[in-house]
Amino acid sequence: MSRRGISLLIASALLPLPVLGLPQAASAADTLVSAGKPATTSSIEGSGFEAALAVDANTATRWASAEGVDPQWVRIDLGATHTISRVKLNWEAAYARTYRIQTSADGSTWTDVYSTTAGDGAVDDLTVSGSGRYVRMYGTSRGTPYGYSLWEFEVYGSATGSGDTAPPSAPGSLRSTASTSTSVSLAWNAAADNVGVTGYNVYRGGALVGSTTGTTYTNTGLTAPTSYSYTVKARDAAGNLSAASNSLAVTTPAVPFGSHLKPYASGMLKPSGTQTTIDQKTVDHYKTWKAAFVRQNCGNGWYQVISPDADHPYVAEAQGYGMVIAATMAGADPDAKKIFDGLVKWKIDHPSAINPNLLAAEQDVTCKSVNGGDAATDGDLDVAYGLLLADKQWGSAGTYNYKDLAVKHINAIKQDEVNPATNLLKLGDWSGSGDQYYYISRTSDWMIDHFRAFRTATGDAAWDTIRTAHQNQIAGLQSAYAPGTGLLPDFVVNTNTTPKPAPGQVLEDPNDGAFWWNACRTPWRIADDAVTSGDAKSLAAARKLNGWIKTKTGGDPNKIAIGYQLNGTQISAGSEAAFFAPFAVAAMTDAGSQAWLDALWNKMLATPVDTSSYFSASIQLQVMITASGNHWVP
């Protein structure tokens, strides 16, 4: 208790004693009535110092006014008229030298119930006598050069009369609508009350962080990646608080979509237009893609990306796409982490029968792995990459240790999906020494930026060797078999001797040696590394592809065909996103291709999501993510 509180108690002791049996208001009314009530102030020092923090019952948070300005005040709305018997001020170092405690019935006309010109900070525990709905500390002279700051402003007393004692109903469906690395935006369904809801209190980790009269609130001043828990309570005019809403956990992402915290190499192009518009177009496409392909068809906490155009409803390639996309879209999609974790559970619960740290390649309509349950390299590469993105995005201290899972997956890829004799990728963990597929590799699996991420995550220099081997193969194939086009074949054979395009069907199709339904992704995969790393080999390969296709079509993306022989001869007419979209990333690498890039971007915007083809839709979305400047390497 401060000197002032002691003095007032001594003075009161000298007054005549009350008549025996009459109520003594001060002792009967000494109940805290201000906790969690709406608070307003004349100013705040900045984010994280709001008025509500002075009534949150947390002595680790505080209200702080603007510095160097008099007067300043902080006001509490008790919701109804109260008899006030005690006020307790817990000052931070910035305290008031001269201040008044005032009450008001309407928040306009004020009555002093205490004043001093000799404030000395610390804790002022004041016995007062007054009444009102509003109570404020009104400071007119600072005790320091700074401002006014209270850890806690407590008001004790009791409501006058019975009044409204029925609390509102609890707010419903608390949810996150967006997040950045430093903020979380919340929304909830309105509560109901017998008289009327006047506002909502927002709590983080049980502590009051703010109040609002609407059904949305953005909590700022956060850090990433950090998990926060929120609830909301409704209040009415009498100060009654509802029960808490549902609890909501939100993890702030370190690299939210649209933040562009990971810049591309110098000189890379982007589509013309404002960055905000480009980002929003990508988000719009993502939402349509998500609605078409992201499912929870099998229960068990799983999420899946369906593949209606594949041999089975669920394939590893689709799940890998989903994991990379979900981790990248964090911030734009408040459900991104939930979806990602559901895909992680799917990966864990569907291990390869050969190496359990890999993902089984195919599942049927009952969500059971089929065809031997072995793994496919393309899906595994994206699964591992997605886990690394998630570790950087959300950290690995939650339900799943993303980093540990990623490293195990990467090491399993090296063990069972990289040919140790050639350092080139195999088709899957099912191919072993001596079989006819052991020296065959799929060019669309040659994801150079993934190899860089694997090297960083594991510290294993073998991934530098693997990356170089694939880059050398790209250059060699372009030079020897596609000098005029730069096109790569779907499959390469004889990787142990003289690598060459497949001579007809070796795995999937008579066009296995052409730029067909696998290799159509290579302009995107090669250029993804070029735009993020600026690597000379990747840039040269991407620019070769870009120069040829721009000339071949005369700058008209509508003329990009479905498949080509390596000499540039068209295989099939028509237009397909899986073929035209990847060239947009290659176009980003050439300073003279702005108009061409814009034409490809506009072609993508004009192409609706094909809900029958996860393959084309997923490729186009990932191309748009890169073109918008949102692809990054963990």
DSSP per position, 350-393: SB-SS-TTSBBSEE-TTS-B-GGG-BBHHHHHHHHHHHHHHHHH
Tokens standing for 140? 């007119």
Residue 415 Cα distances to 357, 376, 398, 411, 507, angstroms: 11, 13, 28, 6, 22
Tokens standing for 66? 């603007």
Residue 82 Cα distances to 62, 111, 130, 167, angstroms: 25, 14, 9, 17
Question: CB neighbours of 314 closer than 8 A, spacing ≥ 6?
Answer: 304, 305, 306, 307, 362, 363, 364, 367
418: β partners: 425
Which residue, among 282, 272, 218, has the nearest Cα to 250 in the 3D structure?
218
Q: Say which of 154, 317, 449, 590 is annotated catalytic.
A: 317
Neighbours of 272 (CB within 10 A): 13
Helix%, strand%, coil% for the chain, nearest 5: 35, 25, 45
Residues 174/190, Cβ–Cβ less than 8 Å: no
- 441-442 sheet: strands from edge to edge: 441-442, 491-493, 500-501
Burial 132-159 (b: 16+ CB within 10 A, else e): bbbbbbbbeebbbebbbbbbbbbbbbeb
DSSP per position, 505-551: -SSS-TTTTSB-TTGGGHHHHHHHHHHHH--HHHHHHHHHHHHHHHH
Chain-centre distance for alpha carbon 309: 30
378 is catalytic: yes
Question: CB neighbours of 109 closer than 8 A, spacing ≥ 6?
Answer: none
Residues 395/334, Cβ–Cβ less than 8 Å: no
Burial 179-203 (b: 16+ CB within 10 A, else e): bbbebbbbbbeebebeeebbbbbbb
Q: What is the dihedral of CA 625, 628, 630, 632, to 10 degrees?
A: 80
317 is catalytic: yes
- Orientation angle between helical segments 336-349 and 377-394, nearest 10 degrees: 140
Which residue, among 395, 381, 275, has the nearest Cα to 327 in the 3D structure?
395
Residues 621/285, Cβ–Cβ less than 8 Å: yes
Distance CA 52, CA 42 (A): 13
Distance CA 304, CA 323 (A): 10
Tokens standing for 402? 């993303």
Q: Say which of 154, 362, 378, 512 is annotated catalytic.
A: 378
Which residue, among 403, 422, 596, 551, has the nearest Cα to 492 in the 3D structure?
422
Catalytic residues: 317, 378
